[in-house]
Amino acid sequence: MTMAMQHSAVDTTAWSDLSGRWFFAWRMAAACEDALREVHVALGRQQNPDRLMALEKVSSLLRRELMRWVRRGEALDMIVDHLPEQAD
């Protein structure tokens, strides 16, 4: 009986951890997307060449981060899709 309860607690903890990671990855991707949108609006209005170059660097970094979080979210999606059903 103790083994069954301990196994169930580990499964619940693993599921909670995976669910939290999945949510965080997609929230970070959404945050990067929002920031990238704001940077591109600022790029369109910028007249100063130095600031324009700085915004282009920020845009590049945000694009890279967005792709990293999307890849992580997609990888977690595949794991979540193949998890066994939890018995309550």
Cβ-Cβ contacts under 8 Å for 65 (sequence gap 6 or more)? 28, 32
pLDDT digit string, tens, across residues 44-56: 999 999 999 999 9
pLDDT band at 69 (very low <50, low <70, confident <90, very high): very high
The answer on pLDDT for 5 being more than 80 is no
Task: State CA 45 to chain mean position distance.
Answer: 29
How far is it, in rounded angstroms, from Cα 39 to Cα 28?
16
Top pLDDT among 25 and 12 is at: 25
pLDDT above 90: percentage of residues in the chain: 59
**pTM listed for this prediction:** 0.72
Going from N- to C-terminal start, the domains of the chain cover 15-81
The whole-number average pLDDT for the span 9-37 is 87
Closest CA relative to residue 70, chosen from 20, 27, 34: 27
